């Protein structure tokens, strides 16, 4: 951003938001297919394909899309959906994990899409395909962006990072059933307006939290009293002042929530999933897609590269765009923006493809994206999370720093 003094706002939504319930179910289906592939010899996990879209509304779930992989019954998919709803915490009359109707409409993957993924353009032209995986083309055309900056320790923009943290910590309070958490429902939204001075986040001008609750008698003031300690603990010392304006359940009662209050769809919270509007977004959703879909895998790769550039001290912030064509393995373009240092940016554009193989196969191998690691991404953002030994959030590692520093 060119300005150094400004206020920037980002929002987040909780795991119980209707769209996030849909994302969670879709990602649980991706993990189900990958888990079964790893456990059996029916199919190589590399060859699993899932594109699952979920609609949730009053006591109803519809799952549609395409798959290729192990033999998994509709009953098993339904069971995964119900388990996800139960884990989120929905046991309401209008949306209950046990009573909701679940309609599974998944079918086999289109042969025309499959041929684009399985054989890149070079293979079609008659190149010697000594490694079939190396010939995998992108699952679709598209542009993907990654971003990192020094606002926070995890190199994420402050507005979206703290919006996520507020809801994640409130969800922990709710699941604990203690200190009033039993009065909170699964559905909630947050919004944080961060004050920047000299390009650095220094405070919060406005805080918005709308949180579902179980008691009709609870007022907005009651809910504020309940959640305020958690919100304050999420933000750095001194960021909340007497001038900070709070909006807690500003419309009043919020008892009917989740899919009973508003229909949910997979992929409808893509800005919440990424950088809260602080950085560009390519437009493609992540949830419900296996890693051959570059909407997901290349977005993870571009975040990984941007984070490592900043972690390496090469730039204070970095925005990276990758572009792909269906059936073509190599990215069509690599674009780097670090704020106007054209020599640095041009050098990085050449180096990135040297330190990491940016074909779909290269990304999937480097970030271990054939593991069943996606359900955890469905709420509280895909970026700025903590990588695990099991492979979750591998794109948040900073293990490319030495290679980047050496290449530069």
Q: Look at residue 286 in the predicted model and tell me its pLDDT.
A: 97
Catalytic residue among 213, 293, 303, 392: 293
Concerning whether 337 is annotated as a catalytic residue, the answer is no
User: For the chain, how far is it from start to end, CA to CA, in angstroms?
Assistant: 25
Q: Which of 100-109, 132-141, 301-310 has the lowest mean pLDDT?
A: 132-141
Q: Look at residue 41 in the predicted model and tell me its pLDDT.
A: 87
Give percent of the chain above pLDDT 70.
93
Concerning whether 262 is annotated as a catalytic residue, the answer is yes
Q: Look at residue 34 in the predicted model and tell me its pLDDT.
A: 98
Separation CA 361–CA 134 (nearest Å)? 6
Catalytic residue among 161, 254, 374, 393: 254
Q: Look at residue 129 in the predicted model and tell me its pLDDT.
A: 41
Of 186, 193, 206, 192, the closest CA to residue 254 belongs to 186
Concerning whether 268 is annotated as a catalytic residue, the answer is yes
Q: How do residues 147-173 score in pLDDT, each as one tens digit? A: 999 999 999 999 999 999 999 999 999
Q: How many CB atoms lie within 10 A of CB 94?
A: 16
Span 212-218, average pLDDT? 92
Q: Look at residue 188 in the predicted model and tell me its pLDDT.
A: 98
Catalytic residue among 68, 174, 269, 382: 269
More confident: 299 or 115 = 299
**Residue 335: how many CA atoms within 13 Å on its side-chain side?**
15
* Side-by-side strand order, sheet with 6-13: 6-13, 184-197, 200-213, 245-248
CB-based contacts of 210, cutoff 8 Å, min separation 6: 188, 189, 190, 248, 249, 250, 251, 254
Contact by Cβ (8 Å): 12, 188? no
Span 347-368, average pLDDT? 96
Catalytic residue among 31, 66, 87, 222: 66
Q: Look at residue 117 in the predicted model and tell me its pLDDT.
A: 64
Q: Look at residue 112 in the predicted model and tell me its pLDDT.
A: 58
List domains and CATH numbers for the chain.
6-12+158-256 (3.30.300.10), 18-118 (3.30.300.10), 142-151+267-407 (3.30.300.10)
Concerning whether 171 is annotated as a catalytic residue, the answer is no
Q: Look at residue 127 in the predicted model and tell me its pLDDT.
A: 44
As a 3-state breakdown, the chain gives helix, strand, coil percent values, each rounded to 5, of 40, 25, 40
Span 96-122, average pLDDT? 76
What angle in degrees, to the nearest 10, is found between the helix axes of 360-367 and 294-311?
60
138 secondary structure, DSSP code: B
pLDDT at 131 over 70: no
pLDDT at 114 over 90: no
Concerning whether 260 is annotated as a catalytic residue, the answer is no
Residue 207 phi, psi (nearest 5): -130, 130
Residue 133: pLDDT band (50, 70, 90) is: low
Q: How do residues 48-57 score in pLDDT, each as one tens digit? A: 999 999 999 9
Concerning whether 189 is annotated as a catalytic residue, the answer is yes
Q: Look at residue 109 in the predicted model and tell me its pLDDT.
A: 78
Span 342-368, average pLDDT? 96
- For 121-183, where are the E strands, in sequence order? 142-149
Q: Look at residue 24 in the predicted model and tell me its pLDDT.
A: 98
What angle in degrees, to the nearest 10, is found between the helix axes of 158-176 and 220-234?
120
DSSP reduced 3-state for 287: coil
Residue 386: pLDDT band (50, 70, 90) is: very high
Q: Look at residue 17 in the predicted model and tell me its pLDDT.
A: 98
Catalytic residue among 262, 349, 357, 368: 262
Concerning whether 222 is annotated as a catalytic residue, the answer is no
Catalytic residue among 263, 311, 403, 407: 263
Concerning whether 179 is annotated as a catalytic residue, the answer is no
Catalytic residue among 28, 136, 260, 295: 295
Of 388, 327, 392, 404, the closest CA to residue 359 belongs to 327
Catalytic residue among 8, 11, 15, 19: 19
Concerning whether 295 is annotated as a catalytic residue, the answer is yes
Separation CA 88–CA 259 (nearest Å)? 12
Of 90, 224, 84, the closest CA to residue 166 belongs to 224
Residue 130: pLDDT band (50, 70, 90) is: very low
- Give the largest CA-CA distance in the chain: 71
Of 24, 58, 26, 23, the closest CA to residue 257 belongs to 58
The mean predicted confidence, pLDDT, of the chain is 93
Catalytic residue among 8, 11, 17, 183: 17
Separation CA 196–CA 18 (nearest Å)? 32
Concerning whether 20 is annotated as a catalytic residue, the answer is yes
Q: How do residues 305-350 score in pLDDT, each as one tens digit? A: 999 999 999 999 999 999 999 989 999 999 999 998 999 999 999 9
Span 361-387, average pLDDT? 97
Concerning whether 382 is annotated as a catalytic residue, the answer is no
Concerning whether 254 is annotated as a catalytic residue, the answer is yes
Consecutive H or E run containing 229: helix 220-234
pLDDT at 19 over 60: yes
Query: How distant, in Å, are the alpha carbons of 119, 123, 186, 318 from that of 126?
Result: 11, 5, 54, 38
Catalytic residue among 20, 174, 213, 281: 20
Catalytic residue among 49, 189, 307, 382: 189
Residue 54 corresponds to which tokens in the numbers above? 């979920």
Query: How distant, in Å, are the alpha carbons of 18, 290, 291, 362, 396 from that of 294?
Result: 25, 9, 7, 12, 17
pLDDT at 44 over 90: yes
Q: How many CB atoms lie within 10 A of CB 103?
A: 13
Q: Look at residue 137 in the predicted model and tell me its pLDDT.
A: 83
Concerning whether 289 is annotated as a catalytic residue, the answer is yes
What angle in degrees, to the nearest 10, is found between the helix axes of 18-39 and 74-88?
130
């Amino acid at each position: 951003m060119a300005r150094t003094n400004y206020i920037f706002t980002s929002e987040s939504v909780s795991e119980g938001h209707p769209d996030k319930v849909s994302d969670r179910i879709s990602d649980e289906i991706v993990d189900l297919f990958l888990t079964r592939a790893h456990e059996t010899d029916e199919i190589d996990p590399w060859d699993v394909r899932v594109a699952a879209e979920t609609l949730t509304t009053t006591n109803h779930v519809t799952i549609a899309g395409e798959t290729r992989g192990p033999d998994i019954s509709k009953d098993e998919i339904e069971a995964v959906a119900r388990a996800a709803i139960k884990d989120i915490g929905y046991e309401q009359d209008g949306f209950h994990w046990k009573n909701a109707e679940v309609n599974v409409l998944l079918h086999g993957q289109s042969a025309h899409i499959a041929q684009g993924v399985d054989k890149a353009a070079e293979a079609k032209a008659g190149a010697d395909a000594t490694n079939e995986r190396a010939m995998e083309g992108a699952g679709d055309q598209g542009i993907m962006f990654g971003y990192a900056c020094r606002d926070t320790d995890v190199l994420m923009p402050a507005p979206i990072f703290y919006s996520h943290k507020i809801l994640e910590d409130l969800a922990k309070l709710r699941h604990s059933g203690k200190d009033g958490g039993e009065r909170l429902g699964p559905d909630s939204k947050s919004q944080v307006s961060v004050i920047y001075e000299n390009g650095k986040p220094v405070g919060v001008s406005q805080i918005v939290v709308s949180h579902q609750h179980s008691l009709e008698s609870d007022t907005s003031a009651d809910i504020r009293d309940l959640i305020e300690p958690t919100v304050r603990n999420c933000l750095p010392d001194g960021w909340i002042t007497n001038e900070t304006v709070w909006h807690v359940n500003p419309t009043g009662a919020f008892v009917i929530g989740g899919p009973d209050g508003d229909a949910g769809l997979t992929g409808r919270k893509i800005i919440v999933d990424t950088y809260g509007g602080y950085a560009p977004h390519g437009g493609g959703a992540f949830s419900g897609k296996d890693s051959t879909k570059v909407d997901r895998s290349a977005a993870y790769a571009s975040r990984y590269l941007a984070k490592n550039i900043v972690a390496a001290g090469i730039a204070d912030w970095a925005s990276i765009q990758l572009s792909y064509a269906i059936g073509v393995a190599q990215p069509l373009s690599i674009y780097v923006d670090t704020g106007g240092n054209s020599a640095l940016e041009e050098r990085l554009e050449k180096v990135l493809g040297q330190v990491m193989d940016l074909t779909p196969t290269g990304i999937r191998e480097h970030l271990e994206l054939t593991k069943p690691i996606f359900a955890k991404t469905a709420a509280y953002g895909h970026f700025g999370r903590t990588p695990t030994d099991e492979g979750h959030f591998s794109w948040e590692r900073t293990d490319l720093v030495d290679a980047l520093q050496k290449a530069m």
